[in-house]
């Protein structure tokens, strides 16, 4: 999200969040969560800005941002595929689903398709163990997957975009 064409983030978007939390001790994670909601990910210039406003160092902010799996330092595709890697999904074949996604989209864990449509992210248990193997695309959960079923779901989403 840029303010013009200069690839800089529009820092005014996070002003309200910083006004509310910058002076509250222990709020760094909360601020980062809001920032990610606003920008879709955590752009580097935003991290520098947060560090300055809360009176901390960029290293400290970066340290927290890279510690937690929720935070992303790169933009994600329009469809974020969260593939569950919980124990139940593992036992019921999540590895085969990952392979099918790779075959269909050509992306591995953490990667985004060239057209910017899909990002694949392996996640810890989504807690829908009885529907395993499971993946979640944006807010929709797809359960009892087979490699073919997973490919079909992705093809349908692609078709929608064409």
Partner 1 sequence: MRIVVGQGSCGIAAGAAKVYSAIEAQLSSSAELTITGCIGMCFLEPIVDIYDGDALLKRLVKVQPSDAERIIDYVNGNENAVSDIEITDDDKDFLLKQTRIALRHCGVINPEKIEEYVADDGYKALEKVLKTMTPEEVIEEIKVSGLAGRGGAGFPTWFKWNAARQSQGDYKYLICNADEGDPGAFMDRAVIESDPHNLIEGMLIGAYAIGAKEAVVYVRAEYPLAIERLTNAIKEAEEKGYLGENILGSSFSCKMRIKAGAGAFVCGEETALIESLQGERGMPRLKPPFPAQSGYWYKPSNINNVETFANVSWIILNGGAAFAAMGTENSKGTKVFALTGKIKKGGLVEIPMGKTLRDVIFGIGGGIKNDAQFKAVQMGGPSGGCIPAELLDTVIDYKALGATGAIMGSGGMVVMDDSTCMVGMAQFFLDFTAKESCGKCVHCRIGTKRMLEILSRIVKGEGKEGDIELLEELCYSIKDGALCGLGQTAPNPVLTTIKYFRNEYEAHINEKKCPAKSCTDLLSYRIVEDKCRGCTLCSKKCPVNAIIGSVKNPHIIDTEKCIRCGACYNSCKFEAIVME
Site for partner 1 contains 1 (CB under 8 A): no
Site for partner 1 contains 87 (CB under 8 A): yes
Site for partner 1 contains 71 (CB under 8 A): yes
104: its two tokens: 């269909």
Contacts of partner 1 in 93-122 (CB under 8 A): none
Using DSSP, state whether 27 is helix, strand or coil.
coil
Binding-residue pattern over the window 20 to 59 for partner 1, x denoting contact by CB under 8 A:
-----xxxxxx-xx--------------------------
- Residue with smaller CB distance to partner 1, 36 or 112: 36
**Stretch (H or E) spanning 83:** strand 79-84
91: its two tokens: 């036992």
From 106, 110, 116, 127, residue interacting with partner 1 (rule: CB under 8 A) = 127
The span from the CA of 104 to the CA of 100, in Å, is 6
Report CA-CA distances (Å) from 155 to 46, 48, 74, 92, 148.
35, 40, 25, 23, 10
- Residue with smaller CB distance to partner 1, 43 or 133: 133
User: Could you tell me which residues are beta bridge partners of residue 80?
Assistant: 119
The span from the CA of 3 to the CA of 1, in Å, is 7
Site for partner 1 contains 70 (CB under 8 A): yes
Write down the least CB distance from residue 4 to partner 1, Å.
31
Binding site for partner 1 (CB under 8 A): 25-30, 32-33, 63-64, 67-71, 85-88, 90-92, 123-132, 134, 141, 143
């Amino acid at each position: 999200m840029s303010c013009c064409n200069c690839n800089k983030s529009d820092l005014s978007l996070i002003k309200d969040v910083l006004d509310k939390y910058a002076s509250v001790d222990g709020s760094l994670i909360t601020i980062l969560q809001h920032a990610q909601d606003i920008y879709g990910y955590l752009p580097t210039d935003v991290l520098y800005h947060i560090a300055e406003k809360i009176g901390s160092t960029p290293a400290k902010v970066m340290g927290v941002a890279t510690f937690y799996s929720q935070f992303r330092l790169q933009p994600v595709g329009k469809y974020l595929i969260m593939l569950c890697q919980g124990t139940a999904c593992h036992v019921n074949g999540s590895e085969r689903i990952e392979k099918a996604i790779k075959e269909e989209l050509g992306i591995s864990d953490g990667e985004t398709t060239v057209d910017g449509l899909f990002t694949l992210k392996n996640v810890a248990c989504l807690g829908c163990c009885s529907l395993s193997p499971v993946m979640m695309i944006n807010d929709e959960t797809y359960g009892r997957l087979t490699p073919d079923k997973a490919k079909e779901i992705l093809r349908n989403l692609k078709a929608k975009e064409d």
